Chains A and B, each alone.
Chain A
Amino acid sequence: MRNGLAAAAFCVVALAAPQAHAGAQNATEWLERMTDALATLNYDGLFTHTAGQQSETMRIVHRVEDGRSMERLVSLDGSGREIVRTAQEVHFYMPDRRVVLVEQRSDEGSLLRGLPAPDPKLDELYTLDVRKGSKLLGRDVRVLDIQPRDVYRYGYRLWLDEETAMPLRSEIVNGEGKAVEAMHFTRLEVRDRIAARELEPAVDATGFQWVRASKRADPQVAGIGWRPRKVPPGFRLVATRVQIVPGVPMPVQHLIFSDGFASVSVFIEPGPAKGPSPPESTTVGSANAFSTQIRGHVVTAIGEVPAATVRDLAMSVAPVEEQAAPAKSAPERPDR
């Protein structure tokens, strides 16, 4: 009976051969396999998301067509919010606010997706270990431990299905070894195909305000050439762009940092005319944000890293011309 329930909870209908092999030997290979599985398999699952005292049930549907990854993530409790990533755009439905945020899709994420595997420095930043785990959903699993070597990044504990490398359970752990966030699949189906209609939102957005980031960004408005003076160990600037962010009235400069596994975005937007406001910090599960004002611009850093890391990166950026200017020498002391 128990096995029957487990079989119903996890179902692999038909897998393409490349994903079905189970030849991974070490932790890095399992990390590569998991990253690949998340991006390339068709799957539909229910999972529990827990952060702090809050716990919600969510559904994820992931579909790949012509090599393009599309997905729908929906909160089944509470807010009823949904994020749908189509081939062209990302739609964030917020029925509690009667708003839909629309962001142009970027494929740059697919570049970053490949970073953990080839980055030889990953071992310098994290210790990786893999071991056999107890069954989950009736499936054999490997437990992948990714522990940071310093305080600038979180650790991960991932329970991976041995056949597909899909994470059936995950915990994000802070510097004190305490889980700050956990996800646990209660049902997961890996299918040969996912129908397009399964990515359609359940939300009726009639009458909602649609906030689009479709205008061409004006770099003169956004302010060009901001760069970090310092970065936390292991992080590097991997991309930079000027863009419109849905919900933000002005074009912003966007700097993207990665250590090969975790990433941080820093957004720089012209400051409000009403004057400076005090710095703010925000914690949402394992995601942290820090916002402050620098040189008349609002600088906001956000990432799946500890609060110290987003704060340090936000405080470290400055206009390039300021950094390039020669250091001022001390004024000469007048002779007495």
Chain B
Amino acid sequence: MTDQIREQMSALIDGELPRDEVGLLVRRMARDAELKRAFGNYVLAGESLRAPGSVLASPGFAARVSAAIGEGDVNEIAAPPAPARAPIGWRRPLAATAVAASAALAAVLLVRPDGGEPQQFAARSGAPETLPVVSLPVGGSSPTPGENQRLAGYMVVHGQYATPIGRRTVWTNALATDPGITRVSPESAEAP
């Protein structure tokens, strides 16, 4: 991989790659699996440096880039707005701007190091069915204060990322009561 390619990938992650170059790079990644995987790794590296609270790309940007890579059509791609200032550069910290983080997420979604989207579980369609067996409870218990606090923290955080109706659902339940915790037998918790 040449330095020029690296710089182009960096600029794409930063949302600063000119539109015409975006097209070239995306076409190249669509043809070159190794390049695609390397790009995914760069994005993950950048993501790991990202400060908490970074803002992510618009879902539209992710979808446009993803669709373009899948179809080889780069005309639909529009990079997110670039920051006002800006030396481009691979050596620039990837966590520098929210826009960089935005592009990084988009790239994570479109280029996975394993080369594709995660598989989906088999769809169960038609009329509502009985839920699949989830667990074999081996005993209920009252959670410790520490367990309750951990779960409450997770519910508060999750609520921030839900839709307004979802947030109200999760937060209302966090207020309502302390949950009981059901221990699950290990054999029922095998990976799907």
Could you pull out 8 A-B pairs where Cβ atoms are within 8 angstroms? A151-B128, A183-B168, A224-B44, A245-B157, A248-B153, A279-B189, A282-B143, A312-B192
- Inter-subunit contact B150/A83 (CB<8 Å): no
- Inter-subunit contact B163/A115 (CB<8 Å): yes
- Inter-subunit contact A308/B132 (CB<8 Å): yes
Segment at the A interface, from B9-17, B54-62, B76-84: B54-62
Chain B residues close to A by CB (< 8 Å): 37, 44, 47-56, 58-60, 105, 108-109, 112-114, 117-126, 128-132, 134-135, 137-138, 143, 145-146, 148-177, 179-186, 188-192
| A75 in contact (CB, < 8 A) | yes
Inter-chain CA distance A181–B171, complex, in Å, is 13
A303 with B179, Cβ < 8 A, contacts A241-B50, A287-B173 known? no
- Inter-subunit contact B131/A151 (CB<8 Å): yes
Q: How many cross-chain pairs have Cβ atoms below 8 Å apart between A and B? A: 312
From A56, A112, A267, A300, contact of B162 by CB (8 A): A112
From A92, A114, A265, A267, contact of B152 by CB (8 A): A92
Task: Determine how close the nearest CB of chain B comes to the CB of A292; give it in whole angstroms.
Answer: 6
- Inter-subunit contact B154/A230 (CB<8 Å): no
Task: Determine how close the nearest CB of chain B comes to the CB of A75; give it in whole angstroms.
Answer: 4
- Inter-subunit contact A316/B192 (CB<8 Å): yes
A92 with B174, Cβ < 8 A, contacts A104-B53, A170-B165, A239-B56 known? yes
- Inter-subunit contact A263/B173 (CB<8 Å): no
- Inter-subunit contact A241/B52 (CB<8 Å): yes
- Inter-subunit contact A116/B163 (CB<8 Å): yes
User: Which chain A residues border B138 with CB–CB below 8 Å?
Assistant: 278
A285 with B175, Cβ < 8 A, contacts A150-B125, A151-B132, A224-B44 known? no
Most chain B beta-carbon contacts within 10 A, residue among A156, A211, A220, A246: A246
- Inter-subunit contact A151/B118 (CB<8 Å): no
